Structure 1
Amino acid sequence: MVSQTTVSIVFLVLGGMALLFGTVLVFVGPIIIDDQIVKNVEINPKNDLSYTMWKDIPVPFFMSVYFFHIVNPDEILKGERPMVIQRGPYVYRENRWKDNITFHENHTVSYKEYRQYFFEESMSVGDESDVVTIPNMLVLGASVMMENMPFPVRLLLSTTFKTFNEGPFLTKPVGELMWGYDSKLVDFLNKYLPGMLPSSGKFGLFADFNNSNTGLFTIFTGRDDIRKVHMVDSWNGLKNVDYWRSDQCNMINGTAGQMWPPFMTKETTMPFYSPDACRSMELVYQRPLVSSGIPVYRYVSPKTLFANGADFPPNEGFCPCRQSGLLNVSSCRHGSPTFISQPHFYNADPQLLDTVSGLSPSEDEHGLFIDIHPETGVPVNVSVRLQLNLFLKKVSGISETGNIAEVVMPMLWFEESGYIDGPVLHTFRTNLVVLPKVMEYMQYIFIALGLAAILTAVILFLTDKKVWKKSSQTLTQAVSTRVYDNVNHSKQHPANETQAEKYNQSNTGKK
């Protein structure tokens, strides 16, 4: 039978080994986890999960468009305050993929990202045949652009508008406003003034989005330095753009806006370059939360993102500016008086809300955010929301502008949203969330088991020692009692003692 001492020694050895293994995991575990993250987030065709997510973006991605339908176009021409009603969403499923992928020896990779849109009627408030009224960019935008031209030129422009039956406002189906409509004026301009318009075909607000790419990006793979993974090295061969008035504003900073370097902290910001906005932007940490069972950090746009130079001096290079909350993108939109803002002028100067009726900004509905897994730099839930606005005013000599009061007129806002779902979510959560957590818990489990085993060994040892001591005391007491009983017996029976002595003496004599 195995003694308690032997069992205690076994528990002591096993407990010591478990304690040692758990302690080693405390120091080695994070290193192993970080090493696995580094291997998985590097842009490398051998990394099936991360490379597929980067190359083909196999997650649901949608663009939801909301139009600001003008209720009182005639009154606007008389100088009254515009009134709008939001119509939408009109939702489009967005397919994105990368092509022309080329890896370079300096640990960068070049590619073009293409996008394609498909209308999702089941997710929309109606279909693309719904009719809305918005400002006519070809008329009202061109009028502001020609404001400083000689008066005869402005008269000629107004005559041209009348010739081609172009008025100050458009009332057309959503599909045509989005992807293009036939216009004799557009055909005339493309024929005699090529390059004046962004599209050589039909004119639509998103005509140059569908079946197009965002330019040639060259980004770092992270192979030599994981801190640079996804960071932009150049765009269309450029290290800087030339749209703006300062070197800082012309810088191409951050990533291409899809993934970021791993090991983010609450102090880390999220810079990215947006070809659609013609500039780099930066999001800031707001709060931690859990999205689809994955712990994430929520990043949002700061109030200074579209602030004017007076409120935020570093933005002076983006001017000429109007109120804070507006980005003048005319320099990269063929001179058109176009402004970008957050929807419903969220985070903008309150004065903008006084000039248009029907707007009601809120953070939940109109705030821009990205929920990102900080350990890997992979976005889990994305909602990028921007509004397109047109600056309107009366222009002398162009009768189409009537007596329009100066106003930054909202035309539409759109939300590009995506989230990890399905098998990709399961694989991501298993490999990059669950397994690291299991390893983290294992170290504490082994430490706890080790301490428990050592404690058990000590208890067994002490118990065995106590039993041995008690047994020794019992044996001693038993021997003492036996001797004592023998002595008493002799005293009480002396005859028996004498006979015993005689018997001994007799045997001795015989010998």
Structure 2
Amino acid sequence: MYTLCPPTVGIFGCLALVLGVISSLYVIPTIENSYLLHAVYQNGSFLLNEFLKPEVKTVFKIYFFDVTNSEEVKKGEKPIVREIGPYVYNEFKFRTIINYTETSDTFDFFEKTQLFFNAEESGGRSENDFVTVINSALITIGNNIEDQIKHQTSKVDDVFEHFLDDYDLFIKARVRDVLFDGIVINCSNESGLVCLYLKTEQTEFLRPFGNDLKFSIFNHINVSENGPFKIQIRNNDNKRGHILAYQGRKTLNNWSLKHKCNEIKGSNLIIFPPSMSSTQVIYTFFSEFCRSIAFPFDSYSKIRDVPASVYVMSRETFDSSRKNSCFCKASGIKRGSLSCNVKGTMNLKNCKNMAIILSHPHFYLGDDVLLNYVQGLSPEKKIHESFITLGARSGIILNYAVRFQFNVPIKRNKHLGTTNMREGIFPVLWTEEIQELDEKF
């Protein structure tokens, strides 16, 4: 029990004790130079409010892969894409503390994220812009349904009989519709049988729309809370900032049972342990991808004369090594197939209940087969890798950039109209979440 936190201070005073380190996001030199990590703050303090509703600038940028030869691709030619973006969104997080456990110095909280379009930083681009992209809804939904009833040939034929009458392999749609408002899946016509299967699916990409359904990639971010998370908040602890449980579980159950792929490790981009050595590896838990990812130490740096340590996402994150095979086994996907474990990719089927393929942007660090499938990609370390910069002594986040790409697997399938297409991983878009200090700080 902390002697700096007497009973008269109250629960939130105790919480504010450790949340005081977050103030270094605003007064870094003072905090770093004096290393004041044990100051006590009262309930309702500025510092506690900064945890509950951070004001540090965070932006979420989205880049589309616009397909310029869609008709030719259907006939078997190599896809040609051009990157369009960024579409920039101001990102705000709101946290609600629901429980504090004094004996272990942990608390539980929910986190809500909201994205607001920033037209100025988007450089003249608008959410009403049209992009031509692979029809992610058609591909992922079609694959899901076929997986469910693949051994019932006649039923598969019945379900898909009229499906392609209503949908194309490529869609030209508004940016906002693809991301948030949704693409309508008509359930009232001949292809309505498809909806009977879809309405039994539990996936964040689909939502009811009257008698129909809508498919969108990021709408769930703006409309739902994430959590609860249980976080360790004890100062000078080598697990400070670590997520100890998520949604009441100390381990995940998405991947192969009793395997390390299910481990919840590290922080979730709030705070890290202080005074870590250059041999240590930090982990970040990405609940949206149902996994923890390693960030080994890369280099020393300085931000406004403050000593800093830079950690870069492990080059093995999407490697096809044996230790990553547990991300495939539970999905029943053959190791080394285009759906899972090609070097540079990860299948999110067991996380999202949809065959979305995750990778680095532009297939950075990926197998040549990924880059050879599509024309128009240019992977670059500087703009496509992810990193986190921490105060060398405090463990507070000084800045970070986290970048991921979303793709769909293309397989020859008569029911989806892909019989003549090349098989491979088709890029849809990539994102980067960036947090950095404003000049006013």
Q: Shorter chain as normaliser: what TM range?
A: 0.7 to 0.9
Provide the C-alpha distance between the structure 2 equivalents of 1:137 and 1:150, rounded to a whole number of angstroms.
24
Report the counterpart of residue 316 of structure 1 in structure 2.
325
What letter corresponds to residue 115 of structure 2 in structure 1? Y
Provide the C-alpha distance between the structure 2 equivalents of 1:265 and 1:46, rounded to a whole number of angstroms.
33
Report the counterpart of residue 6 of structure 2 in structure 1.
none
Provide the C-alpha distance between the structure 2 equivalents of 1:377 and 1:157, rounded to a whole number of angstroms.
54
CA-to-aligned-CA distance 1:442-487 (integer Å, 9 cap, x gap): xxxxxxxxxxxxxxxxxxxxxxxxxxxxxxxxxxxxxxxxxxxxxx
Report the counterpart of residue 111 of structure 2 in structure 1.
113
Asked whether 1:393 is paired with 2:411, we answer yes
- Tell me which protein shows more strand as a share of its residues: 2
Provide the C-alpha distance between the structure 1 equivalents of 2:357 and 2:429, rounded to a whole number of angstroms.
11
- CA spacing shift, 1:378–1:162, aligned 2, 3 Å: same
Provide the C-alpha distance between the structure 2 equivalents of 1:327 and 1:341, rounded to a whole number of angstroms.
6
Shift of 1:45: 5.3
Provide the C-alpha distance between the structure 1 equivalents of 2:32 and 2:117, rounded to a whole number of angstroms.
42
CA-to-aligned-CA distance 1:79-107 (integer Å, 9 cap, x gap): 22111110000000011120144212331
User: Is the 2:98–2:108 contact (alpha carbons within 8 Å) kept by the matching residues of 1?
Assistant: yes
Report the counterpart of residue 26 of structure 2 in structure 1.
none
Residue 283 (structure 2) aligned to one of 268, 271, 290: 271
Shift of 1:154: 2.9
What letter corresponds to residue 112 of structure 1 in structure 2? F
- Tell me which protein shows more helix as a share of its residues: 1
Provide the C-alpha distance between the structure 2 equivalents of 1:384 and 1:410, rounded to a whole number of angstroms.
18
Report the counterpart of residue 337 of structure 2 in structure 1.
none
Normalising by structure 1, we get a TM-score of 0.70
Provide the C-alpha distance between the structure 2 equivalents of 1:37 and 1:115, rounded to a whole number of angstroms.
30
Report the counterpart of residue 505 of structure 1 in structure 2.
none
- CA spacing shift, 1:226–1:52, aligned 2, 3 Å: farther
Report the counterpart of residue 15 of structure 2 in structure 1.
none
User: Is the 1:39–1:47 contact (alpha carbons within 8 Å) kept by the matching residues of 2?
Assistant: no
Asked whether 1:98 is paired with 2:95, we answer yes
- CA spacing shift, 1:211–1:293, aligned 2, 3 Å: farther
Shift of 1:130: 0.7
Asked whether 1:416 is paired with 2:436, we answer no
Shift of 1:47: 10
Provide the C-alpha distance between the structure 2 equivalents of 1:372 and 1:392, rounded to a whole number of angstroms.
40
Report the counterpart of residue 243 of structure 1 in structure 2.
254
Provide the C-alpha distance between the structure 1 equivalents of 2:32 and 2:429, rounded to a whole number of angstroms.
45
Shift of 1:292: 3.7
User: Is the 1:177–1:204 contact (alpha carbons within 8 Å) kept by the matching residues of 2?
Assistant: yes
Report the counterpart of residue 241 of structure 2 in structure 1.
230
Provide the C-alpha distance between the structure 1 equivalents of 2:196 and 2:42, rounded to a whole number of angstroms.
46
User: Is the 1:346–1:362 contact (alpha carbons within 8 Å) kept by the matching residues of 2?
Assistant: yes
- CA spacing shift, 1:276–1:282, aligned 2, 3 Å: same
User: Is the 2:141–2:198 contact (alpha carbons within 8 Å) kept by the matching residues of 1?
Assistant: no
User: Is the 1:253–1:273 contact (alpha carbons within 8 Å) kept by the matching residues of 2?
Assistant: yes
Residue 312 (structure 2) aligned to one of 292, 297, 300: 300
User: Is the 1:139–1:400 contact (alpha carbons within 8 Å) kept by the matching residues of 2?
Assistant: no
CA-to-aligned-CA distance 1:398-446 (integer Å, 9 cap, x gap): 15223122110110000000112255x3xxxxxxxxxxxxxxxxxxxxx
Shift of 1:35: 9.1
User: Is the 1:342–1:366 contact (alpha carbons within 8 Å) kept by the matching residues of 2?
Assistant: yes
What letter corresponds to residue 127 of structure 1 in structure 2? S
CA-to-aligned-CA distance 1:184-224 (integer Å, 9 cap, x gap): 4368566774342433243211111113222210111216x
Which structure has the bigger radius of gyration? 1
Shift of 1:355: 0.9
Report the counterpart of residue 84 of structure 1 in structure 2.
81
Provide the C-alpha distance between the structure 2 equivalents of 1:113 and 1:251, rounded to a whole number of angstroms.
21
Report the counterpart of residue 134 of structure 2 in structure 1.
135
Provide the C-alpha distance between the structure 2 equivalents of 1:380 and 1:35, rounded to a whole number of angstroms.
17
User: Is the 2:293–2:314 contact (alpha carbons within 8 Å) kept by the matching residues of 1?
Assistant: no
Provide the C-alpha distance between the structure 1 equivalents of 2:187 and 2:309, rounded to a whole number of angstroms.
46
Provide the C-alpha distance between the structure 2 equivalents of 1:275 and 1:33, rounded to a whole number of angstroms.
30
Normalising by structure 2, we get a TM-score of 0.81
Provide the C-alpha distance between the structure 1 equivalents of 2:42 and 2:63, rounded to a whole number of angstroms.
38
Provide the C-alpha distance between the structure 1 equivalents of 2:72 and 2:227, rounded to a whole number of angstroms.
42
User: Is the 2:62–2:429 contact (alpha carbons within 8 Å) kept by the matching residues of 1?
Assistant: yes
| Partner secondary structure for residue 155 of structure 1 | helix
User: Is the 1:230–1:260 contact (alpha carbons within 8 Å) kept by the matching residues of 2?
Assistant: yes
User: Is the 1:143–1:401 contact (alpha carbons within 8 Å) kept by the matching residues of 2?
Assistant: no
Report the counterpart of residue 68 of structure 1 in structure 2.
65
Q: Which consecutive unaligned segments of at least 5 residues does structure 2 have?
A: 1-30, 209-213, 334-339
Q: Which consecutive unaligned segments of at least 5 residues does structure 1 have?
A: 1-31, 426-511
Provide the C-alpha distance between the structure 2 equivalents of 1:37 and 1:107, rounded to a whole number of angstroms.
19
- CA spacing shift, 1:288–1:46, aligned 2, 3 Å: farther
Shift of 1:50: 5.1
For CA contacts below 8 A with separation 6 or more, give which structure has more relative contact order: 1
Report the counterpart of residue 200 of structure 1 in structure 2.
207
What letter corresponds to residue 254 of structure 1 in structure 2? G
What letter corresponds to residue 216 of structure 1 in structure 2? P
Residue pairs, 1:179-198, within 5 angstroms = 179-185=180-186, 193-196=198-201, 197-198=203-204
CA-to-aligned-CA distance 1:225-246 (integer Å, 9 cap, x gap): 6322211111000011111125
Report the counterpart of residue 352 of structure 1 in structure 2.
370
Report the counterpart of residue 19 of structure 2 in structure 1.
none
Shift of 1:268: 1.8
